[in-house]
Each structure stands twice: as structure tokens, then as C-alpha cells.
Structure 1
Amino acid sequence: MTEATMIPTDDETCAPDPSHAIAVDVATTLAGTLKALADPLRLRMLSAISTDPRGESCVCDLAELADVSQPTVSHHLKVLKAVGLLESQRRGTWVWYSIAAGRQAAVSALLEGFAPAVIAPNPQPEAPVAVSAFDVEAHINRLITDLSATSAGVSPEIVTGIVRDSYTALARSAKITRYLVPLTERFAKQRLADITRDTASAPPQVLFICVANAGRSQLAAALTRQLSGGRVIARSAGSTPAAGLNSNVAELIRDIDGESVEELFPKPLTDDAIRAADVVITMGCGDVCPIVPGLRYEDWSVADPALASPEGVALIRDDLADRVQALLDSLTN
């Protein structure tokens, strides 16, 4: 093909319509904010402030994040404040920093959504598995039949709906599709147990929710099972489930639960799980959790282990263990 033949005709366009791009002033403002964030220490400071249980952090605390001088710490904080991400208040000798009003959702999206996606390892292409749509349908139908026979008081129509909805929900984030049917079985059984739960006689049930259901919420559920000795049922879910557990958290859960970590997988949030819970604990998932009257809700400000160092992950585990123990004391005493 010659160069002449590559010239577009009158009916063709050689580039997208420039009007589809974001406006220049918006791009300029956004670039300034991204430039301010393009420093590891500033990102760590922003993360520390956003997850501080007090809702704010003293500059003296933030100085512990790196071996730099106090003026350097103050400079980084002023840069983040200049682009509108932080606000500050002097009280006595020290200055306290918090996430600026109206910017909490943006900071959460950066730390809870964008950051884990960026640092996640690129998944290896899944080896092709010769599973036809007919085979999948046959497995699903068999699962519906089996669960209908063992789910007393639940109509076959409801079982069918739960099984098919569970399969579809898990398929949205699945990377290894060959395991979808057994995962669907586990998820559907959990949902059926939730909708048939006798709240008057059943043990207390806690639902932990985070964004990906790959770290904090899974770890909190494992600690609840361990520390309660089975006296409290723990569930976990994610507003946007990941494809698998964070490797750091999987190791911790293996230490807590033994081999049961192999039974764990990120699950989407469902109304069944919320309505079956006595307590709903949210961790960084914003306002996606529906509010059901009569339920007890708590929001725990806990750092994301996917973004933490090994030492940081251990601190997150200890923080969660303390919170879980206090929760159990309130439920079982």
C-alpha cells in the first residue's frame, strides 16, 4: 500500500473529534493535582490521614513516616493542601491535617480503587478450558436441583433465582472461570442460609464490607471466627469484588484459619447478607451499603493491606483484632 492510498477520503476522519476530550481548564487543574500526588511520601501521608481513626493526623505523627526533617514534612503537607486535598488547623504547638471537606470521596477512590488496580500483578492468561455453554448449564441445573432438595421452606423458584444470580455476579469479576460453578455453590448456600436465618435463635451475625472484599473485610471476618470461637457468624462482601484475595491477607488468614483460606473468595454485596446481619461494618466502601432500619451500623477507618508494607499489614491485623474483640464484647456480654 502506498502512502497516497492511506490518505483519508472526505467521508473518513483521521482522528477522534477533539471535543470528546476533557476541557483544557479541567485538564490543567487535574494535572496540577496529579503532580502534587506524584511523590511517594505525599501519597503515604494522604493514606495515613484518610485512615486515621481520629479523622485527622498531627504533623508530629506524619513525621514518623520517613526519615526527613520537620520542614520537609511540612512542605509536602502544604503541597497537598495547596491543591485542595487537605485542610489544617493549628492547636497549640502542632498543626493537625484532615482530608478537605468534599474531597473524601475523591481520596477514597484514589486509595481504594485506583491504587490497588495499579499495583496488582498482571494476571497470566488463563489456559483455555473446553467447557461448553451446554456443560455449564447442565452443572447449574444440577446445582439448582440439589439445593432445592436441601433448602426446606424455600421455593424452587427462589433457589433458581439465587443460583443463577450468584453465578452471574461471580462471573463479572472471575479470572479463572473453570471454578465458577463450585464457587457459585458456596455463594448460593451462604445466601440461602441468610434468607432462612432465624434471627430469634441464631447466633449473632456480622457483615464486613469493603470495596474489593480481598483484604480488610476478609481478615476481619476471619478474626471474628477465631476470637468468638464460633459464637458469632461472620460474613464479608465487597461493593466491587476483586478476582481473588490479596496475597498478604491470604497468608494472615491461613495463620488464623488454617486451610480454610482456600474456601474464601471475594463476594459481591447482596441484600440477603445485609438483612441477615445484626451488625454491618463498613470499611472504605462509601455510601454503597443500603441502610436497613433496625440494623446496627459502624464504619471502621482501617488502612488497606493491599497498599501496606509487611509491617503495616501486621499493624492492620492488630488494629482489626482490637476492634473485633470490642465488637464481640458488645454482642456476647
Structure 2
Amino acid sequence: MSSVVEPQVECSPTAAGYAISDEAAGLITTALKALAEPLRLRFLSYIAATPGGEACVCDLAELTNVSQPTVSHHLKVLKNAGILTSERRGTWVWYRIIPELHPAITTLLDAFAPATASAALPAATTKLSDVDGGLTHAAESLRRAFPALSEDLVLRTVRESYTALARNATVTSHLTTLTERFARQRLTDISRSDKTVPQVLFVCVANAGRSQLAAALVNHYAQGRVIARSAGSRPARDIHPNVRILLDELDAADSAEAFPKPLTDDAVRAADVVVTMGCGDVCPVIPGVRYEDWAVGDPALASEIGAKAIRDDIATRVRALVNELTPNLLLKKTGENS
């Protein structure tokens, strides 16, 4: 009885090129070890969430039941790991995240941490029985609403919108409804020709906090005189509960903006102003579009009081922007003299 000899597979001599270097792995491991402590991660989230992006020992001591020396010890570990920098002002030392690491820390806190926390939740059991039929019906409805656009473009936009939203969906029972709302927004942006009403796009990482709140505040103050959009570079599965409460206070929780949406080129092209909020250089640069970056805290990472303070900070910026785009609108509304 003859046996079959399996062919020998040579190991790829370039396999090592796919991995990071030993030096880079060592540096990353040092940082991760420093972060692998619940109290330090909470301190880091607090610093990232504050409007000024900094905190002193006294602030962080109030956050927990540990002593100031214990707080100082943990901050020193984060500083020695190259994550924080410090500055003495009078009797207090203030800590900030090193600017070069801010995008990575934002990703950790805004995307990785929520995804990790939700990984233990049971998978959604509600399934859409006829996805294709639902999308076709949505496309037919939108085709009637946008007669100037081709049938293929409308259907493609609907299917792309469904795919983008489904990546993070936990429950799919209402996904076709959200898809139609998202696709309608995209088609509106694609077909936008009237530039008499300014349009602003707010972009953050998860589209579950800052950008949602900013768009809702524009709608609240501008009363239709400015179009507000929001999106995320890595959208979350749902709006953060802290932010949902603030949206409820603005009567914005049921608006078309009130679910996380991915960033699209259509939204950027349609915008007159793009405001980034902690998402780095993820927006495509479109000629003629004005870009701003607002360094504001993340209400999704803050306490209830902190979230309201961040809301007030964003509201101040929104009022200034709306006043600039629609001169005297807010002054007329409040009865102030120019």
C-alpha cells in the first residue's frame, strides 16, 4: 500500500515583514501595561473628556475614593509610559495627553472600549426576514422623491447605506427604516444645488456624542436657517446614554440625526463647513469646503455634570457659527442689539 507524500511548503522568507518591529512592540507593550489598570483608564478618560483636555490631581481625587498620593502615583506611571505630559502651575501639577498620542487614545476610549464592553452582550436575535425586499421598497420610495436621480444611483445608495449601518447594528428590526432615512439624507446631499441655506457637517469618531449634540444644537438655534449633518469616522452602535438625555432636552432624540452614521464623501461635498471634533485627519479635503477643528470634551466619557458642561461649551461654539452663517439670526431671536 503506497502512501501519499505531502508536498513540502516553504516558509515565506518575508513573513517577518508583516509584523511590527521588536522595538515598536516593546514601546506599545509599555503603554498598554500602563493602561491595564482600571483607575488609570478612568483617569485617562476624565482627562480626555474635559473641555480643556487637562486635569490636576485634586480633580481626579474627587473622581474616586483614593488619596491624592495614590492619584499622583498612577499619573506618574502614565507619564513615565509616555502617555501624559505635565505642567506645574503654582502649587498644582496639570496633566494632559501627549498630542501625538491623542488620536490613539481617542480610538481606545471611543471605539475599542465600547466595542469590548458590548462584546459580552448576547447577539441580537431579531432578524430581518426580507432584507432585499425591504431595500427595494425603500429604493422605490426614494426614487419617487428624487426623480432627477437615476434608478441605479438610488438603489446603489440604498444598498451601500444598509451595508454601512449593518456593520455595527445589534438589532436589525428597524434597520431598513434607518437605512431609508440615511439614504434619503445622502441623496439630498448628492442632489444639493441650492446653496442659499448653509450646511454644516460635524464629524467625530463614534457619532454617538459630540457631533450628534452639535448638530442638534444647530437645529435648535438656527430653526431651519442652517442645515446640520453629523457623522463618525468609526460610528458606534448607538448614541451614548449621556448624550441621549441631552438630546431629549432639545427634543432632538427622534430626529433623523439621532443615530450613528458613517462619514461619506457625499456629506463632505455638500457641506459649506466641516467641523471635526477629535477625529483627526479623516475627512476628505474637498475644494471650496471650509474646515474647522473644535477641541471639545467628549460627553460620552464624562459624568452627568461634565456632559452638561461640554454641552454648554459646544452650544457657545454653535451659536457663534450660526451667527456667522446667518448674521443677526440669534440677536433677533433674543432681542439683543447689535
**TM-score normalized by the length of structure 1:** 0.80
Shift in Å at residue 277 of structure 1?
Answer: 0.9
Deviations 1:293-323 (A, max 9, x none): 2222122223333322222222222222222
Q: Which structure has more RCO (C-alpha within 8 Å, separation ≥ 6)?
A: 2
Distance 1:54 1:247, change over 3 A: closer
* Residue identity in the other structure for 1:142: H
Is contact 2:50-2:306 (8 Å) kept?
Answer: no
Shift in Å at residue 69 of structure 1?
Answer: 5.8
Shift in Å at residue 193 of structure 1?
Answer: 1.0
Aligned to 1:278: 272
Shift in Å at residue 194 of structure 1?
Answer: 0.9
Equivalent position to 2:177, from 175, 179, 182: 182
Equivalent position to 2:321, from 295, 320, 327: 327
Structure 1: stretches of 5+ with no match in the other structure: 1-19
Q: Superposed, which structure 2 residues align to 1:1-333 within 5 Å?
A: 29-51=27-49, 54=52, 65=63, 71-90=69-88, 95-120=93-118, 122-129=120-127, 131=129, 135-201=130-196, 203-257=197-251, 260=254, 264-333=258-327
Distance 1:136 1:98, change over 3 A: closer
Deviations 1:136-170 (A, max 9, x none): 32332233233222213222222222122112212
Aligned to 1:11: none
* Equivalent position SS for 2:292: strand
* Residue identity in the other structure for 1:324: V
Which whole-Å CA distance do the structure 2 matches of 1:51 and 1:174 have between them? Answer: 26
Give percent identity, aligned residues only. 56
* Equivalent position SS for 2:251: helix
* Equivalent position SS for 2:174: helix
**TM-score normalized by the length of structure 2:** 0.79
Distance 1:256 1:74, change over 3 A: same
Is contact 1:112-1:284 (8 Å) kept?
Answer: no
* Equivalent position SS for 2:287: coil
Q: What's the C-alpha RMSD, in Å, of the aligned pairs? A: 3.3
Shift in Å at residue 24 of structure 1?
Answer: 7.5
Structure 2: stretches of 5+ with no match in the other structure: 1-17, 328-338
How many positions carry a matched residue from both structures? 315
Is contact 2:45-2:301 (8 Å) kept?
Answer: no
Shift in Å at residue 30 of structure 1?
Answer: 4.2
Name which of structure 1's ranges 138-147 and 214-223 shifts more when overlaid on structure 2.
138-147
* Residue identity in the other structure for 1:231: R
Distance 1:114 1:193, change over 3 A: same
Deviations 1:110-131 (A, max 9, x none): 2222222234484443335471
Which whole-Å CA distance do the structure 2 matches of 1:222 and 1:263 have between them? Answer: 8
Name which of structure 1's ranges 278-287 and 30-39 shifts more when overlaid on structure 2.
30-39
Which whole-Å CA distance do the structure 2 matches of 1:259 and 1:99 have between them? Answer: 32
Name which of structure 1's ranges 39-48 and 226-235 shifts more when overlaid on structure 2.
39-48
Is contact 2:124-2:170 (8 Å) kept?
Answer: yes
